[in-house]
Structure 1
């Protein structure tokens, strides 16, 4: 039996597994997927049948094989890929066991999510050409082995900033598929910022008709209708990924302020902003219309977001005084709670002493000692997103031509 360190000594076929599994045992021989291979669903659950269809849809284009799906609990383990539910407490909810022998592939888990994660491991073990949408030459061989795996962290998220530069629905779906391949289970959509507003709010239509037409210099503008957003949520859900929508307030709000003059303290709508400066914009924390706006926005988003979380941003509110920020956050907490959702905010929300213990703080700054200590003191859950470790848009080193460097250089090794 191997552990994580010993896996490094194995051949490159296993070194490519991301993340590394809890354990991996190498056996003799290999299994070859061929024209006659079948997928057997050893469960009566409809969800497991859908996962089997997902596997077939992944493998069919590149292999060209029919990969017939059958439901049976009494089968001969010969030239099959079986999916089954077991009751192994050590695997937890998202874990799985993958056994590849010379005669069959057997994937088992406690829940459908575990089976889905096991399929991602199977996907990584196959030749890279399995990802092609057109038929490729085989053989489609997998070395015989036993993999047992379960996640170390329950929250494994990735954020897409669609606010500064817009991504189409199809592009987001491509990201979702790639995130799923690496067993990510949270999709954080940054839907608003100074440079653009990306989600339709029917009660405030100019947010998209006006605010959706801007982007950072060189970026793409656009927005999602509520139906398009629901399609993203559905697509992510089918891949066991929860969507976390973020509307960043009270700062990072120029697109909203430019769309509605009445949200500004002076009643004058500012022009579009296409730069990268931060901290210059803020909602008026004393105006009643600000909280009417926030109630409408979060109510509409909550109604099309089945998950329990709403992200309110709260970062880099440099044009909002501490007193204004505390007053604003108190009002905002009440709005989010009234919608039956849990509030998530960036590290700066931890500066609000009366923050409800049910909230979640997403730590991003380096260092974030003050925010972390506040969270620990008040028993508040945290999401660790340190910029100097896992912001993947940072340059790898000084020789990297593309990327940012404000958080320092972040190598692949460091991020992993």
Structure 2
């Protein structure tokens, strides 16, 4: 993208013309010494929507006034509460409503999905993943391989990065699937690699894996609410994600899960729970588990109302803003930050994240050229200035200009702060 200018006036004019600018006022921006922070950490924990407090207090009021009867007579009856986020969640991830459910946390959902979709045999014992995956994924996949009596040394296959900054090319993924596919029971890859910010082509990965007879699941923790997704059309067997990053549902919020509709009534192994039972007969309390068709059939327990209320409030913001509009602004904001860094800080920072907007979301991962110690020093300096990103070992600073509440002026302010730090290092 071209036409950018590195001036305060230009950045402010872009913010004034932004059709999504009013949404920033719907979030609590943390203060820093009498002014607002420049918050670039929505990829780790999204800011609190102002509508959350009223949403939670409404459920507290129903609890205090109605107690158990709020399941049926509340303003939003609790019996069906998880269904209130279903349609919007499905829109955000590009799925059919019956293919998604909000439940548990990401790690729990990943294990539940592998109970159903990692079914290793002597001939096909392996899981294929990326090297350097987020620890939750690495721990979960390794533990599942061990649980089934196989050896992670041979049956947890990690695709090594082969691109600039530790990125992973599609050619490397294709080669790994071609080489190992005959032994692979399940492919598990991210939508966005957490450290590099690289986006993966989900549909292409599914096509390659299915041609080799592999099932496919995705961890979309850094992709949901960030990228245009089409989970149903991708053909993935399952996907899991958290909702406290770009979806702004709060720390440790209820996670999300996708199960493709071809598995809606499939007789697959699963860990069963009462709330996953067919809701038309759930309260008959019978001993025989009959799963609800679709993703709801993987639920274990009744929904956590006080944890779902913030997600419901946040998804309302997404409905009004519209994912296409958010993605369009995100690409322009991230491109502006990318351009500023390359044009003004090229001697100080290396950008790890791909330059192609189609291969990244609202995240730029950078390394300080002077090394890890200098990187830690810069990160600490930015915190002192009220500029909040995050650090990922061994040497990456992540900055995520999130379209719901970040501005062009924020991007310029962050770069000016890094320039000021550079001046102290001379």
- TM (normalized to structure 1)? 0.22
Question: Greater helix share, 1 or 2?
Answer: 2
Structure index of larger Rg: 1
- TM (normalized to structure 2)? 0.22
Question: Greater strand share, 1 or 2?
Answer: 1
